[in-house]
């Protein structure tokens, strides 16, 4: 691999790690209704676990309520069961056509638990970014052994990889701090 390929691959993979974190943070409650809260819910639909958003329209008609309107009304009970068994901490209200989820206000203790979860997710993302850095550095070392790179090229590549690592760790830290602040607000 040449220097540009290594750097491009590294940047793409780090971008994906940040994207995974962003999606995970959407699922953390902040006391306000958000369609992202139910993104991780999987419903047993015709024998296979299916993401809720693939079998229902999810909307937020009020700040404290999520409305789930399934495309097939026969799966209402399966959706309610999946929500109940998830760790959302919300009870579904099934009226025969739609499911309403009332988002209760968060207690101080629950907010602290959620900020701990945000920190854990951020650390997972940072570890993923560092693993990507390690792989890129291995590619640079291997390219030098294979006589594709000079020592200077290898060192320059490793330096650029480190710059990317710092950049994406900063993005992860910023996202985590913003989400922690959002969770702790009333």
The Cα 6–Cα 53 span in angstroms is 36
Kindly report the average pLDDT of the chain as a whole number.
Answer: 90
Sequence-ordered list of residues with C-beta below 8 angstroms from that of 105, at least 6 positions apart, any chain: 31, 186
Place of tokens 């060192």: 155
User: Is residue 30 pLDDT above 80, yes or no?
Assistant: no
Q: DSSP class of residue 66?
A: E
Question: Quick one: pLDDT at residue 111?
Answer: 87
Q: What is the mean pLDDT of residues 66-78?
A: 91
Q: What is the mean pLDDT of residues 23-45?
A: 83
User: Is residue 115 pLDDT above 70, yes or no?
Assistant: yes
8 A C-beta contact, residue 99 and residue 68: yes
Q: What is the mean pLDDT of residues 136-164?
A: 93
The Cα 4–Cα 55 span in angstroms is 42
User: Is residue 88 pLDDT above 80, yes or no?
Assistant: no
Q: Is 93 helix (H, G, I), strand (E, B) or coil?
A: strand
Q: What is the mean pLDDT of residues 57-65?
A: 90
CA R_g for the chain: 22
Question: Quick one: pLDDT at residue 71?
Answer: 92
Q: Domains of the chain by range and CATH?
A: 3-26+107-184 (1.10.132.20), 35-102 (3.30.1360.40)
Question: Quick one: pLDDT at residue 186?
Answer: 59
Q: Is 32 helix (H, G, I), strand (E, B) or coil?
A: coil
- Percent of the chain whose pLDDT exceeds 70: 99
pLDDT band at 130 (very low <50, low <70, confident <90, very high): very high
- Phi, psi of 100, deg, nearest 5: -110, 135
Question: Quick one: pLDDT at residue 59?
Answer: 92
Question: Quick one: pLDDT at residue 39?
Answer: 79
Name which of 8-12, 61-65, 157-161 the model is least confident about.
61-65
């Amino acid at each position: 691999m040449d220097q540009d390929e290594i750097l491009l691959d590294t940047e793409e993979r780090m971008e994906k790690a940040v994207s995974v974190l962003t999606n995970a943070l959407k699922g953390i409650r902040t006391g306000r209704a958000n369609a992202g809260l139910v993104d991780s819910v999987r419903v047993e639909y015709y024998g296979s676990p299916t993401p809720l958003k693939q079998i229902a329209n999810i909307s937020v008609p009020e700040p404290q309520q999520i409305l789930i309107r399934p495309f097939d009304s026969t799966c209402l009970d399966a959706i309610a069961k999946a929500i109940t068994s998830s760790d959302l901490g919300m009870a579904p209200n099934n009226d025969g056509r739609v499911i309403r989820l009332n988002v209760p206000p968060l207690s101080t203790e629950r907010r602290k638990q959620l900020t701990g979860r945000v920190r854990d997710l951020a650390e997972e993302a940072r570890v993923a970014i560092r693993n990507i850095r390690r792989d890129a550095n291995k590619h640079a070392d291997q390219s030098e052994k294979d006589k594709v790179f000079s020592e200077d090229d290898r060192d320059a590549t490793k330096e650029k990889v480190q710059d990317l690592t710092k950049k994406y760790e900063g993005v992860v830290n910023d996202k985590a701090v913003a989400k922690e602040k959002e969770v702790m607000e009333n």
